[in-house]
Amino acid sequence: MAIVECEGLSKTYQQGKVTVRALNNVSLSVAAGGFVALAGPSGSGKTTLLNLIGGLDRPDAGDILVDGRDYSRLRSAELADLRLRRIGFVFQAYNLIPVLSAIENVEYVMLLQGVAATERRQRARRILDDVGLADKYDRRPAELSGGQQQRVAVARAIVSSPSIVLADEPTANLDSKTGEGLLELMLRMNQAHQVTFIFSTHDRMVMDYARRLILIRDGSIVGDQDKAA
């Protein structure tokens, strides 16, 4: 069953007087439980596609269905609620809240969801233990290494059991050992809980871990390899 369906997506941006076509009539379908990499050079359109799937931006043309919801039929508030409850995000810049501790950052999404305080704390502790940060609950982002911050970001993305996690260049700021450990963690989450992961990347290691590799160049899909087949 498809958890993501995109049909005929196009997106342009204005950079001064220049119109940049980020995506050109892109269509794809991603099955639930997938572990998928959108790969291509900088400026290829992969991050734009990830942002459209996540509802962070709107296409100029085309249709998007995620978890059975048609984005074109959702009001802004409904789309925001879908992002909050069904989609986890891992950003390249981590996007942790500087004044909050690691455990408070992980709890934040659940706070917005209205989860009770005791349950929030229990779930946040469990997920931080799972990502190897049992001794870092009270550290703020500035007191953590880049790899530790990224693991907090992953914990925050998956703690509320979303249907899908979107990760933009998740290994870009990490050394190869830390990056591999992060990918192993996400693969375990994928296999244990059937959470769908979609990455944008130009990292060969991420491409190797992915079970499906979609190649994007100049705003178009130029290759699609299902390595699990």
Report pLDDT digits (tens) over 74-108.
Answer: 988 998 898 888 999 988 777 899 999 999 999 99
Question: Which structural domains are found in the chain, ordered by start?
Answer: 2-224 (3.40.50.300)
**Mean pLDDT for the stretch of residues 38-57:** 92
Longest dimension (CA), the chain: 53
Q: Per-residue pLDDT averaged across 142-168, rounded?
A: 89
pLDDT of 229 strictly over 70: no
**What local confidence, expressed as pLDDT, does residue 14 receive?**
83
What separation in angstroms does the CA of 93 have from each of 96, 115, 172?
A: 8, 26, 9
The 10 Å Cβ neighbour count of residue 132 is: 14
- Residue that has been written with the tokens 């892109």 in this structure: 26
On whether the CB atoms of residues 4 and 71 are closer than 8 A, the answer is: no
The predicted pLDDT at position 1 comes to 81
CB 212 within 8 A of CB 36: yes
Q: Compare 120 and 171 and report the one with higher pLDDT.
A: 120
Rg (CA), the chain: 17
Residues 158-185 have pLDDT tens digits of: 888 888 999 998 887 778 888 888 888 8
Q: Within 13 Å and on the Cβ side, how many CA atoms surround 100? A: 15
Measured in degrees and rounded to the nearest 5, phi and psi for residue 59 equal -75, 155
